[in-house]
Amino acid sequence: MTRLLVLNGPNLNLLGKREPGIYGQGTLKDAVDLVKETAEEHEAEADAYQSNHEGDLVDAIQQAEGKYDGIIFNPAAYTHTSIALRDAISAVDVPVVEVHISNVHQRESFRQHSMLAPVCKGQVVGLGLIGYRLAALALLESFEGRR
Ligand code: DHK
């Protein structure tokens, strides 16, 4: 069975109460549930992991090899800084779709560059929590050879 990992970085455990004008009212569980529902619609499964720690996220990406077919990843602030996460994504043979809830291109200039985008399959940016569903759909349909 196809397996997805939905991986979330720092401060995303606070979704729902964190800057709701930027990130909305939805919680991390809502985001994970969207991916799980999308996976089920495609007879696939999804697991979720969130960490506030860069090394834990590196470990999760390394451990995904051979266990997951794709990763939906919101690296949060590490998007803009992390060579370690970029190298981890490059090191594994697992496609990663980068997700941002907010439209980072409308925000501070330091959010407008992603260290990770060049090594990801694609990005979904600025569409709120539905971006997690769209990222899952893109991966699942690519596995099915439909897109
Ligand atoms: C989430 C964060 O925590 C920020 O550090 C990023 C991203 C944007 C998001 O929109 O999901 O800059």
This prediction has a pTM of 0.97
What CATH number is given for 3-146 in this structure? 3.40.50.9100
Residue 75, Ramachandran bin (φ over 0: left; ψ between -120 and 50: alpha; else beta): alpha
Hey, whose CA ends up nearest to atom 2 of ligand 1? 76
What is the tens place of the pLDDT at every residue in 112-124?
Answer: 999 999 999 999 9
100 is catalytic: yes
Q: Where are the beta strands (DSSP E) in 9-136?
A: 45-50, 70-74, 96-100, 122-125
What is the tens place of the pLDDT at every residue in 74-84?
Answer: 999 999 999 99
What is the tens place of the pLDDT at every residue in 1-60?
Answer: 999 999 999 999 999 999 999 999 999 999 999 999 999 999 999 999 999 999 999 999
Hey, whose CA ends up nearest to atom 7 of ligand 1? 76
